[in-house]
Chain A
Amino acid sequence: MSRPISTRWTSALLLLVAACGSSSGGSVEASGPPNGQPEGPAQVRLVSPLPNGEWTLPAGDLANTRYSPLAQLTPQNVKGLKIVSTVTTGVPHGHEGNPLVVNGVMYVVTPYPNNLMALDLTKNGQLKWLFRPHPDPRSVGIACCDVVNRGASYADGKIIYSLLDGHVVAVDAEKGTEVWRATVGDINRGETLTAAALAVGDLVIVGNSGGELGVRGKVVALDVRTGHEVWRGYNTGPDNEVLIDGTTKMFYPHDQGKDLGVKTWPVDQWKLGGGTVWGWLSYDPETQTLFYSTGNPGVWNPDVRPGDNKWSCAVFARDLKTGHVKWVTQLVPHDSWDYDEINENIAIDMEWQGKMRKVLLHPGRSGFMFVIDRETGEVLSAEKFEPTNWASSWDLKKGEPVKDPTKQTKHGVVVKNICPSSTGAKEFSPSAVSPRTGMLYIPAHNTCMDYEGVDANYIEGTPYLGASVKMYPGPGGYQGELIGWDLKTQKKAWSIQEPVLPLTGGVLATGGDLVFYGTMDGWFKAVDAKTGAVMWQMRLGSGIIGNPITFLGADGKQYVAIYAGVGGWMGAVAFPDVSEDDPYAVLGVVGAMKDIKKYTGPGDALYVFSL
């Protein structure tokens, strides 16, 4: 099943990268070009089948590479890329995910009300059918950060995706009729569902959202045929509910012990402890292991919850069939900055210090680029990729960050100039990896913040924050940055800085050595994967926070698709019902985003391109 691809490129090319490379002068931790090592890039071996002309899973493949081998589009010919179709979804809110392409049909899940559109690609995107699930409208006011949906999976003849109101729905891909609907979350308790459900084998895995409302994070496995629950694993609480047992092997001593999901909290606080799963799920078919990582601990005021607050801000490895925990590694113990570590965990095998290792690549919201042994949970590398000052480094031996006590947030004190801000050095927007270049392409951003712990009052179904936060652009004169990250050196090979707005859209890498990404001010760009040179760009109708995909049409041509519809947490400041004269609004992001209305407005379009 696996499809090993390994490449090496010449040292001459590396020199070329060095010469053409980094434009990141001025940023604090931004590194320059690679340090001139004579060897080629890290050897990369892919571990799950790649999308073959279609796009059937949220990230294209199970391992979350967001790499497509399609190679018709190249740096040489991409300047001829043109719009071939646009479709409006009718919902001008944040379009964070990406469509699926299966059997000549494109499937689009809209933000709330989570309609599913089937577009016939043989008829230039003509609507084949529209499925309207009618989720509970009260869920709109329960969702923390716009009414987004991050995508769907195709499996067993069905399109399966989450509804904002706590349900997962499976729709017949041919007929557009509902096959089953499962209840996973309860909006009365603050739970919503925004993440993309991942279909693997006989199961569909889904995680909950609501870390700002005192929910208890969990993942649930449903039977793909019936929607019946097969297992559920919580991310806080006693071992038997987290599905930790005697065969679980934690790598670091401080992650070992009984019921740490209870003991690392004040009495009962784990029940409101967050650790939700609103990012991405990945899977290694060789070891049948599911990977994901968890969000911030609840409540945002850290003085309310002394302790490590396990297993928030942690990476989980679970057995797919049973949900049993193989290992957990907590990346940010006692998170005091809302550094959800929910970002993607990309499973690849790569050369590391002379040996091939089975790893996860996890570009963390906390500002560290983690490389983790996916068999054991050992952190092999943790280098900063954006200005990051809450910790001076991440200690690989001890397995914990070396925190700066002056950046520890507190009750009743405004701690200033903490970098990154709560939106992270990178948001949920997923990276892509290319086995041809040995690089990871990280859509990063650079904001800092002032943070004050304030009183928190738990009222079920309402925000449970306990912090007053104000964000602003970080040092260096840029807010967004696409980073070409060299996996061998764990340093920036090149970067493209976006001056006015953060990057919160995903990335696609292709076999034609192109990287596609979009900006919040609406530019959709194709970049030379080796050098970072922008080879093509076009301004679309709204800011881009979705993920590009690529597929083959019935005519055998390569197409690229992207949503343009600004929104989400940071992008919500583009909406008319947010006021820029309250920098603390929208959970603190207004201070960093107050100019966004100059650059973009709400949109709801799907764009499809080809030569």
Chain B
Amino acid sequence: MTRTCLFALVLAACQAPTKHRDTTGATAAIDVPVGPVPGPGEASQANPNPYTKNDDVAVEEGFKLFQRYNCAGCHGDHGGGGMGPSLRDVDWRYGDTDAQIYDSIAEGRGFGMPAWGTKLPEDHVWKLVAYIRSLRTAMEPDRPSIAADTEAPPNTTAGLARPQVQNPPPPEQGK
């Protein structure tokens, strides 16, 4: 049966060169590469990123939110990974642009990443994006030491205080 259909399609193609007129009612063929990265890419549903690249206030706020929303519990205190993948490495399953990271947070991803878009205000998601983009750069807050510390570790929390955010109200749809 499949073979018959295929044959019919080939026939149809030969007999009807006008490519917009097929019997399925589909729209025109896509003439740009579809690409292997999931998500809308630069054409995110979100409004444009309100923070510039060097906005250290947004980065610092994002670091606090990363703890407050328990991102740290899955992705590591400083994004090194655990229950969820590392955000500090060079691999980005779902793309590494601001908009793609926004979409990964807002829409959720397979195997357990929640969709936070319905639970967090948009600017919180953008601040998380700002923090994630800062990892391994000079902008990263409380950047962890990778010294070969063993029995007498340095006080890596000196300097920048740990986040002292107040407990926010429970997220509206989190329960």
Contacts and interface: CB of A to CB of B under 8 A. Distances in A.
A450 B77 CA distance: 14
Nearest to B111: A140
B171 interface: yes
Interface centre among B86, B110, B146, B167 (most CB of A within 10 A): B86
A457 B70 contact: yes
B83 A463 contact: yes
- Sort A-B residue pairs by CB-CB distance and give the 9 closest, nearest first: A141-B112, A463-B73, A582-B80, A585-B80, A585-B76, A584-B77, A577-B85, A140-B111, A578-B81
Contact of A585 (B81, B168, B171): B81
Contact of B79 (A141, A472, A582): A582
A468 B152 CA distance: 17
B73 A586 contact: no
A580 B85 CA distance: 12
Interface string A201-242: 000000000001000000000000000000000000000000
Interface stretch (B46-54, B125-133, B154-162): B154-162
Given A141-B112, A455-B68, A414 B155 contact: yes
Given A473-B151, A581-B144, A141 B111 contact: yes
A464 B70 contact: yes
Interface in A556-611: 572, 575-588, 590-591
Interface string A15-36: 0000000000000000000000
Contacts of B164: 412, 455
A138 B145 CA distance: 33
B33 to A, nearest CB: 27
A448 B152 CA distance: 10
Contacts of A579: 76, 79-81, 86, 88-89
B91 interface: yes
Nearest to A141: B112
Given A138-B112, A462-B74, A586 B80 contact: yes
Contacts of B74: 141, 462-463
Contact of B153 (A459, A472, A575): A472
Contacts of B35: none
B112 A578 contact: no
Given A454-B67, A455-B167, A585 B73 contact: no
A191 to B, nearest CB: 13
B85 to A, nearest CB: 4
B69 interface: yes
B166 to A, nearest CB: 8
28 contacts: A139-B112, A141-B83, A143-B83, A212-B73, A412-B162, A414-B155, A452-B162, A455-B165, A459-B170, A459-B171, A460-B175, A462-B74, A462-B114, A463-B74, A468-B157, A472-B150, A576-B91, A578-B81, A579-B81, A581-B136, A581-B146, A582-B80, A582-B144, A584-B144, A585-B78, A586-B76, A587-B82, A590-B76
Given A454-B162, A457-B167, A141 B113 contact: yes
Interface residues of A, number: 51
Interface residues of B, number: 50
B41 interface: no
Interface in B65-119: 67-70, 72-86, 88-89, 91, 110-114
A412 B70 CA distance: 17
Given A455-B67, A459-B69, A472-B151, 17 more contacts: A140-B112, A142-B112, A145-B83, A414-B155, A414-B157, A448-B151, A457-B68, A462-B74, A465-B72, A472-B150, A572-B82, A577-B86, A578-B82, A582-B80, A582-B144, A585-B86, A586-B80
B145 A475 contact: no
Give the secondary structure class of A's interface. loop
Nearest to B89: A579
Nearest to B147: A583
B142 to A, nearest CB: 10
B121 interface: no
Contacts of B88: 579, 581-582
A79 B175 CA distance: 58
A69 interface: no
B163 interface: yes
A579 to B, nearest CB: 4
Contact of A590 (B80, B112, B168, B174): B80
A583 B175 contact: no
A413 to B, nearest CB: 10
B154 to A, nearest CB: 10
Contact of B146 (A137, A139, A455, A583): A583
Contact of A470 (B83, B151, B153, B170): B153
A576 B81 CA distance: 10
B31 interface: no
A263 interface: no
A461 interface: yes
A452 B111 CA distance: 30
B41 to A, nearest CB: 22
Nearest to A472: B150
A103 B114 CA distance: 44
A460 B162 CA distance: 24
A582 B165 contact: no
Given A143-B83, A584-B78, A585-B78, A475 B157 contact: no
A185 to B, nearest CB: 15
